[in-house]
Amino acid sequence: MRPFKYICIILSIVTLMLSAGCGQSADSTQPTFFQLKEDPVITVEKTDTVYKRLTADYQGALVPADNYGPLQTFIGGYYEYKSTAEGSTATVKNPVYGLCTADGTVVVDAVYDAYKLHPTDEGSYVYELIIGADGSDPYQGERYIAALDGSWMFKIPEKSAFYSAGGDRVILERTRTSKKITYTYHDFYDHKGKRKFTFDKTLAEDQNISYTIGAFSEGLAPVNILIREKKDGKMVDTFKAYYIDNNGKKVQEGLTECESFKNGYAVVRNDKGLFGVLTPKGEWFLEPNYRAINYNSDMGLFASASEGYFEIFDKEKKVVKKVFTERGTVEVVTSERLIYLKVNPDTERVEYFYADTDEPFSCKETGQFPDSGNSVGGLFVCVYSGTGTIFGEDGEAVASIGDFGELVDRFGNTAVVVNENDRKVCFVSVSTKQRTEWMKHRYTRECLDGRYLVLENSSDKTYGLYDLLTNSFVFEKCDCIGLSTVNGNQLLSVVDGVNITVYNKELKAVLNAATLSRH
């Protein structure tokens, strides 16, 4: 994460283009003018449809309201500082962020030095907005937690950091150091910033005990506890687990391991060391009779181990495949065709097979199995001597690329590959099996509407927006480009010199402004 030196914001927004909706053209917008006041008085003007921010001096300026809709981040300027890396003379550009509605109406001026978009336990998001830090240290700077739609917001207390959120709760992690011993607590807050309770304070202060609280993904959160004690001169580990509800009440005790619920199911282990599958109601979907269960929540399949074989169950408890193996592990691979892998615990060899024929699934060109964990969008990779071969579920090779680093994404017909040092990028057509040459740009892993990718020029640190359909740049050598994606709505912020333009996913401008860079 980049180093940070906080300097006051010099931001002058002179023209705000308001649009009635993202789908309308920029020509149909009506300009609204306002200027920053020199006097740093907090002033908010409310109209029927627009909250205008009249000064950027108020930090943390979100005024909670129920009529914003999903808020988007936009880059409202940037400041420059010299890199602190040894021997480097480079100038680093750090953007500052604001919040606006989907049609470009500014709700918060660009006063935030960093932001994080945290997924909630129920599948939505909350914003963490940061002033005075770059976000790399969870305890540094002024930090705020805000609803995705701006309906609530509160400041995170000092010495606390965001842990998780969902429902009507936000969980913050707090630490305290006494006599060189650090104690960790988890505090539950409501959306008004009032602390409801602290989870089991006695556990936090017992140095023989460590615990984790998982996600409240479907109403219950898993708590896994490790107790390490010395018995008969030896250190002995004891495991305990249970679930808690939103009020901290224990549910389904007597376990030794439990996972978060995903799509209605969770894998747990009982005190006999056997695994089963629970529903959020505390009912058994699969009784704890198995020595291992590997749950693929995307496919809805459970690879369950009995003596000498694995049975793959579907959600109807029907056995869709029986895989014989004396030792090792069987897992279902996320794919259109049912594919499973077997792991040999002695050699750590990973082998893939088609479930319907039990024939090996490998690249027909090289004969190699996929590299474990390197598959994206129905494409797999095997790497040998620096050359990576991309192939599909039919085993047919798409491309073989030297200096191969990683298959990082797939957008429709196009696969995105980075080289070994992650300094260059190339694109591969899955249908034509053609690829571009290595480009002297770094892929930022940001994509607009599955078509436009953000690339960083490795030499001059400028940014461009690349169109996969035309294999050409839409914007090139811009100072900053930033993307936000919330609930399917996307905005693109482009900073070029002193100009800032915010576009929707159709690349139609919804906000125009001017800024002075900070030095």
Q: Rounded distance, CA 19 to CA 16, Å?
A: 10
What value does the mean pLDDT take over residues 115-121? 88
Please tell me what DSSP assigns to residue 308. Answer: T
Token code pair at residue 78? 């940037």
What value does the mean pLDDT take over residues 81-94? 70
Contact 302, 295 (CB under 8 A): yes
The pLDDT value recorded for residue 212 is 92
Q: Kindly report the average pLDDT of the chain as a whole number.
A: 81
Record the pTM: 0.71
pLDDT at 435 over 70: yes
What value does the mean pLDDT take over residues 297-312? 94
Q: Rounded distance, CA 411 to CA 424, Å?
A: 18
Q: Rounded distance, CA 249 to CA 264, Å?
A: 20
Contact 390, 428 (CB under 8 A): yes
The region, left, alpha or beta by phi > 0 then psi within -120 to 50, assigned to residue 151 is: alpha
Question: Minimal CA–CA distance to 168: which of 216, 132, 112?
Answer: 216
The pLDDT value recorded for residue 81 is 67
CA distances from 472 to 392, 452, 465 (A): 26, 10, 9
Q: Rounded distance, CA 270 to CA 273, Å?
A: 6
Question: What are 310's strand-pairing partners?
Answer: 305, 323
Contact 161, 145 (CB under 8 A): no
Question: Minimal CA–CA distance to 71: which of 149, 162, 154?
Answer: 149
* Long-range CB pairs of 389-396, under 8 A, 24+ apart, other chains included: 389/363, 389/365, 390/415, 390/417, 390/428, 391/363, 391/364, 391/365, 392/430, 393/335, 393/336, 393/337, 393/339, 393/361, 395/361, 395/362, 395/363, 395/364, 396/364, 396/365
Query: What is the percentage of the chain residues whose pLDDT exceeds 70?
Result: 84
What value does the mean pLDDT take over residues 164-182? 89
Q: List Cβ neighbours of 480 (8 Å cut-off, separation of 6 or more).
A: 75, 78, 93, 95, 463, 493, 494, 495
3-state secondary structure of 202: helix
Contact 124, 148 (CB under 8 A): yes
The pLDDT value recorded for residue 59 is 41
Weakest-pLDDT range from 259-263, 348-352, 370-374, 446-450? 370-374
Q: What torsion do the CA atoms of 464, 465, 467, 468 make, to the nearest 10 degrees?
A: 80
3-state secondary structure of 158: coil
What band does 48 get if pLDDT is binned at 50, 70 and 90?
A: very low
Q: Rounded distance, CA 440 to CA 457, Å?
A: 6
3-state secondary structure of 201: helix
Q: Rounded distance, CA 428 to CA 426, Å?
A: 7
What band does 422 get if pLDDT is binned at 50, 70 and 90?
A: confident
Q: Rounded distance, CA 32 to CA 52, Å?
A: 10
What band does 152 get if pLDDT is binned at 50, 70 and 90?
A: very high
The pLDDT value recorded for residue 29 is 26
Tell me phi and psi for residue 398, to 5 degrees: -95, -45
Show the 3-state SS of 245-295: CCCCCEEEEEEEEECCCECCEEEEEECCCCEEEECCCCCEEEEEEECEEEE
Q: What torsion do the CA atoms of 424, 429, 435, 436 make, to the nearest 10 degrees?
A: -60
Token code pair at residue 143? 């930090």
3-state secondary structure of 103: coil
Handedness of CA 227, 203, 119, 481 (dihedral sign): negative
The pLDDT value recorded for residue 45 is 34
Helix, strand counts (H, E) of the chain? 1, 44
Question: Each residue of 374-410: pLDDT tens digit?
Answer: 788 889 999 998 899 999 999 999 999 999 999 999 9
